[in-house]
């Protein structure tokens, strides 16, 4: 379906996230993975979705000289937003505990910015999902951090892991966005692109 529309393009996913790779594969699009290291920093005045959009565009810009007319690059960045600030990937065990303690019993927003880029065209969009966590005990938080080591995950958790099964009371929006890629929106944007 979609791959017929994109058959003239070589699709590159600019992400080493195994979850994003799995989700893009689920759209039946042939792609290859290429990663360029970019610092995930942003101007301090940016908030919420502006941060996610800024970071996915920054990742795309790193490929500027590697894209020709027949290449379509997809980059994404997912952030967790709560109490007017961003929660990053945990630096260590203690940081992970602190992050999950802040999420415990509250609603937070998971925002993914996605950038589609060819040599002559760039398009970006974002998806926002509200995630409601139950109250977590310190024992549950310690168990998750120790056993799942979520060092590569914004907000120190993966919805598809143990913590998602026990902590998420409900979500409003795309579940796949919480995993790192809003697949329905991406599909529609690619069909339009």
Q: Whose CA is closest to 109, among 154, 56, 148? A: 154
The number of helices, as runs of H, and strands, as runs of E, in the chain is 8, 7
Catalytic annotation, pick one of 69, 77, 92, 152 = 77
In three-state secondary structure terms, 139 is: helix
For the question of residue 77 being annotated catalytic, the response is: yes
For 26-173, where are the alpha helices, taking DSSP H only?
48-61, 93-103, 138-148, 162-167
Strands (E), 44-193: 71-82, 85-87, 107-117, 122-133, 168-172
The widest CA-to-CA distance across the chain, in whole angstroms, is 53
Cβ burial of 176 (10 Å; 0-12, 13-18, 19+) is: buried
Catalytic residue set? 77
């Amino acid at each position: 379906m979609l791959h017929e529309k994109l058959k003239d393009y070589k699709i590159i996913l600019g992400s080493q996230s195994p979850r994003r790779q799995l989700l893009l594969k689920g759209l039946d699009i042939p792609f290859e993975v290429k990663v360029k290291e970019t610092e995930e920093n942003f101007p301090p005045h940016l908030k919420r979705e502006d941060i996610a959009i800024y970071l996915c565009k920054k990742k795309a810009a790193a490929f500027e000289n590697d894209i020709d007319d027949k290449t379509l690059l997809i980059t994404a960045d997912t952030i967790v937003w709560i109490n007017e600030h961003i929660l990053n990937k945990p630096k260590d065990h203690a940081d992970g505990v602190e992050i999950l303690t802040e999420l415990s019993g509250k609603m937070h927003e998971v925002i993914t910015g996605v950038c589609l880029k060819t040599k002559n065209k760039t398009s970006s969009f974002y998806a926002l999902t509200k995630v409601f966590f139950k109250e977590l005990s310190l024992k549950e938080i310690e168990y998750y951090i120790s056993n799942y080591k979520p060092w590569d995950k914004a907000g120190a958790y993966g919805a598809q892991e143990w913590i998602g099964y026990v902590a998420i009371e409900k979500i409003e929006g795309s579940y796949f966005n919480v995993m790192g890629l809003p697949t329905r929106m991406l599909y529609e944007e690619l069909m339009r692109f």
